[in-house]
Amino acid sequence: MLHKCEYMLILPEREDVGLTYPTETSADNATDGDTSMVRMNLEFETVANYHLRKRKFNVIFHDVTMEETIMAISEMLGFTKVYVHKPDNTNSYRNMIIPPLHDISSVFGFLQTSSLYGGVYDAGLRHFIIGDTLVVYPALTQIESDIVVNFLYTGPNSLLGVKKQMSIDSKKINIIINSAIKQAERGQRVMENIGNWFIQLCPESIVDDNYTVEEDSVSINEDNLASITISDTATGVINDTFTQSFEMINNNRLLTEQLYQNRMVDIAFKWTQAVPYLIYPLYKSFIITDNGSEMYTKSCILNRLTYNLIKQNTTDNQGFLCECDVSISCITE
């Protein structure tokens, strides 16, 4: 739902500025002409956040943890409400340097991927803004909330002509999906061909007594090798590997994030007749399908929601129709 603050509509595509409604004559000559609507992308943005995302900054913090750094950055950016899930990285840093030209869209990614500071979350970092609230959290996370979102997949074009495709029952939101879905499952393929158990050596470990130089080779003290895995070995597959590029990095969370992502099944679909900002990425959600003999329910993670407004030009409706591109992930079993 839209929060009570001043919003603006942004037209991100320059070529959309000159769009006009098709005439009846041109529509008759077209195979799929439609004089009732013009498709263009419009973005909702608060006035404050529109100006905020253009702000560049750099700063040095002293004697801080990752959580304290994120809170300090949020305060610098003017957020009055901040939710930060407790980082996996609990180290304290004497100096935390944020290089120049970072902004709200890049600074948290810098903290996650920087080899200087070792990352924030094992599974990767995500963030989004609700009104004047900033939310920073690990990927593949669901918030503890009473609100549940059910996506009921009925198959492409199965509900043509049906106007009501959503219901709200107490704190349960049911959304019917009758568009085509795209699914990408990489878990088993990656497990077999790339590996689900990384062996990593940090460059900082290469000091005296940590390696032995022989005539034709260098032997590393095994005590300084990090063994990184999160995979459930119930399938019987254990595939040890070094980092794919055979490079040594200080930030092991780049590897754990990759391992987490490799266990996921990514699903993308379109939510037609969407209600802008009714749901958010951290909500507990499920995808429900019918496999022919029984209903199949799978817990999923809301990754991304992109709302698109379509301008309508009909006698009954001169407003906008909203569609939402939804991206979710399910953990492979």
CATH of the domain at 134: 3.55.50.30
Residues 71 and 192 in one domain: no
User: Which of the two residues, 190 and 271, has the higher pLDDT score?
Assistant: 271
Helix (H, G, I), strand (E, B) or coil at 103: coil
- Would the pLDDT of 115 be above 50? yes
- Would the pLDDT of 312 be above 80? no
* DSSP-assigned letter for residue 12: -
Residues 90 and 217 in one domain: no
Residues 178 and 243 in one domain: yes
Q: Return the structure tokens found at 136.
A: 């920073």
Residues 168 and 82 in one domain: no
Q: How far is CA 36 from the centre of its chain?
A: 34
Residues 248 and 331 in one domain: yes
pLDDT (mean) for 252-270: 82
Residues 108 and 164 in one domain: no
Q: Is residue 2 part of a domain?
A: no
Q: Is residue 240 part of a domain?
A: yes
Q: Is residue 165 part of a domain?
A: yes
- At residue 113, the pLDDT reads 92
User: Which of the two residues, 192 and 102, has the higher pLDDT score?
Assistant: 102
Q: Is residue 120 part of a domain?
A: yes
* Residue with the two structure tokens 């739902």: 1
User: Which of the two residues, 96 and 190, has the higher pLDDT score?
Assistant: 96
- Would the pLDDT of 233 be above 60? no
User: Which of the two residues, 109 and 192, has the higher pLDDT score?
Assistant: 109
Cα–Cα distance for residue pair 205/218, rounded to 1 Å? 14
Q: Is residue 1 part of a domain?
A: no
Cα–Cα distance for residue pair 56/298, rounded to 1 Å? 41
- Would the pLDDT of 148 be above 60? yes
Q: Return the structure tokens found at 204.
A: 């900082």
In 3D space, the residue among 299, 324, 281, 308 whose CA is nearest the CA of residue 126 turns out to be: 281
Residues 126 and 44 in one domain: no
Q: Is residue 76 part of a domain?
A: yes
* No. of helices (H) and no. of strands (E), the chain: 6, 21
Total domain count for the chain? 3
Q: Which residue range forms the structural domain that includes residue 116?
A: 55-138
- Would the pLDDT of 95 be above 80? yes
pLDDT (mean) for 247-251: 67
Q: How confident is the model at residue 175 (pLDDT cuts 50, 70, 90)?
A: very high
Amino acid at 253: R
Of 80-89, 105-114, 161-170, the range with the lowest mean pLDDT is 161-170
Q: Is residue 209 part of a domain?
A: yes
Report the 10 Å Cβ neighbour count for 258: 17
Q: Is residue 162 part of a domain?
A: yes
**Maximum average pLDDT range among 87-91, 166-170, 221-225, 251-255:** 87-91
Is there a contact between 113 and 254 (Cβ–Cβ < 8 Å)? yes
Residues 108 and 215 in one domain: no
